[in-house]
Structure 1
Amino acid sequence: MIDKFEMFLALAQARHFGRAAESLGVAQPTISAALRQLEDQLGAVLVRRGSRFEGLTPEGERVLAWARRIVADSRAMREELRVGRAGLSGTLRLAVIPTALAAASRLTAAFARTHPDVRVTVLSATSAALLDDLDGLRVDAGISYLDNEPLGAKATVPLHEERYALILRDDHVMAARPSAAWAELAGLPLALLTPDMQNRRIVAGLLAEAGVPAAPRIETNSTIVLIGHVLSGDWATILPLSTAEVFLAHGPLRAVPLTDPDTRHRVGLIAPAREPQMPLVAALLAEAARLHR
């Protein structure tokens, strides 16, 4: 039955029979047949469908939560047995919010040195997509905010605090300032992350509290694009100091800490709260704890 739950999860994610089949490398009739068999075994209709996928039924939504749990436990069991035979190896999938990619590289580099037979795939994701991917078993762990969104049942290890700064070219009139208040940013040509990013929502809230409209003329989901505009000389952006550090070392840039308020948010490693934990995830949690104790 576990293979049928795997197919049901793929269908619930793709919301399309053809795309679900493609993601699993099987023919579409295989997905349809597995779904019919699963419905027969459970005695419930799980998917509304006419000529195409139309969504999960209420029973399907309840089964989805169970299917995630059952598939996760099955994968963890198989992984533990494999590691017992061959040692710690395989691929670890890590989703990271864009502003924490620099912190992720420090953790993954240390993890890779300690566990040379493990491959790590790092994917950039919004905080909401990251949690959805964790719950949907599409990634193994993530790095995101610990105190700004409900995480659900998760194991966490704090990594650092975000402290916000105005990023400017070093020839900007404000570049020599030791700090700047949020209220002083009115009128600056800002480039900011897109509204789907939690960082942008935090920044927009702080600007609003200071009476400054968050109305950037440039929006992007890439910190590199933000820095590229700042380097052109006409723009400023707002980033966590931990994010800006990698750019400050290689360009004519300055970071001016933002105060009034001097707001900080905790960022950390997030994984499903599972006992026993998957071996690769347990090793990553241990490495994070070792680095940041």
Structure 2
Amino acid sequence: MANDVLLQHLDYLLALAAERHFGRAAARCHVSQPTLSVAIRRLERDLGIVIVQRGHRFEGFTVEGQRVVTWAQRIVAERDEMLADLDRMQGRLTASARLGAIPTAVPVCPFITDEFLRRNPAAAVRIEALSSREIARRLADFEIDVGLTYLDDEAPPGTRAVELYREQYVLVAPADNPLMGLDEVAWSDAAGLQLCVLTTSMRNRRILDANMAAEGIRYRPVVEADSVDALYAHLTGSHRATIASTAWLPKLGLPQGFGARPMVRHGPRPPIGLVVLDRAPASIVAAALVEVAGELDLGVRIDRMWSAAAL
């Protein structure tokens, strides 16, 4: 078996693993499809195995090929960490921080990323809205540097976490709705409204469903979406409502003509925080984001903003 595997060929392989299509993988790498195909065949020749199951189109990886993909993820991640570490030694960080956030936490990302970019002006940030389960998978596959997710029984294994805040739920509904005059809104009362909520693939939705069940309620949302923006878009100019986290309000505010009232709390407030792979040496980019997040006192800030808005 040859030992002159090129890192560039591993980059191409990871692009193919992500796109599951030769043409899209080539476009992602800014090369022609023949160039990428030749590189993958060269990698197969160097390793002495078949990596890709081929037909008229990409059909997946062989067992050996999937193992190579796993090693390639680790090797490329270590290369990127080496480059980031050298940047840090020169007093700068030029890497692109890859952050995966659950939809309910996306609105708080600017609190973290604004300060990260202020401290590291040569760096960049890429944010993806992902389910808590997808965050766990992408962390394990070195596809993101940090996750912003729930820190509960669904937290990814093999990670360490920094709690940032705890979710508090409020009913966001037209200001003239009678429920807006209550100190607290029962989940059973909210169930009677035209609710817009996240899809069942999202941890937040499963938490909402559990709160409804705690009051013996089964409800039928009128709109289900996979992003907070989509929920808000369906509120504007309507009589619909949603159950929001107070963490949305500092950046998103309320639609015109809407108000917000606290929901009755059942059990502890769910914790949200940053999760990173528990490995040594630690990721330079992940460590920089964790350092920023740990100094924000974000939970206190969100609670104070909500308390001021609720007066």
* Fold equivalence (TM over 0.5): yes
**2:109 corresponding residue in structure 1:** 104
Take 1:79 and 1:211, find their aligned partners in 2: how far apart are those partners?
Answer: 52
The runs of at least 4 consecutive aligned structure 1 residues that moved more than 6 Å come to none
> 1:262-283: CA deviations, max 9, x gaps?
4521111122333223322221
Q: Summarize the alignment of residues 210-229 of structure 1 with structure 2, pairs less than 5 Å apart.
A: 210-229=215-234
1:213 is displaced (CA, Å) by 2.3
| Deviation of the 1:24 alpha carbon | 0.6
Q: How many percent of aligned residue pairs carry the same amino acid?
A: 35
What do the CA deviations read for 1:150-183 (whole angstroms, capped 9, x no partner)?
4132232111111222212221110011112223
Q: CA RMSD in A?
A: 2.4
2:175 to 170, 175, 189: 170
Q: Which residue of 1 aligns with 2:66?
A: 61
Distance between the aligned counterparts of 1:82 and 1:112, measured in 2?
Answer: 15
What is aligned with 1:79? 84
Shift of 1:28: 1.7
How far apart are 1:4 and its partner, in Å? Answer: 2.1
CA distance, structure 2, for counterparts of residue 229 and residue 11 of structure 1: 37
Tell me if the contact between 1:167 and 1:238 (Cα under 8 Å) persists in the aligned partners.
yes
Please give the per-residue CA displacement for 1:99-156, whole angstroms capped at 9, x wherever unaligned. Answer: 1123211112222233333233333333333334434444322211121424132232
Structure 2: which 5+ residue stretches go unaligned? Answer: 299-311
- Relative to the length of structure 1, the TM-score reads 0.88
Distance 1:34 1:229, change over 3 A: closer
Is the 1:88–1:115 contact (alpha carbons within 8 Å) kept by the matching residues of 2? Answer: yes
Aligned to 2:273: 268
1:187 corresponds to which residue?
192
The Cα shift of 1:14 comes to 0.9
In the comparison of the two structures, how many residue pairs are matched?
A: 293
CA distance 1:142–1:78, change in 2 (3 Å): same
Query: Under a length normalisation based on structure 2, what TM-score does the superposition of the two structures give?
Result: 0.84
- Contact 1:166–1:238 under 8 Å retained in 2: yes
Aligned to 1:196: 201
1:39 aligns with 2:44: yes
- CA 43–95 in structure 1, closer or farther in 2 if over 3 Å, else same: same
Aligned residue identity for 1:162: E
Distance in 2, Cα, partners of 1:54 & 1:250? 47
Please tell me whether the aligned partners of residues 26 and 33 of structure 2 are also in contact (alpha carbons under 8 angstroms). Answer: yes
Amino acid at match of 1:285: V
Q: Quick check: 1:7–1:31 contact (8 Å CA) kept in 2?
A: yes
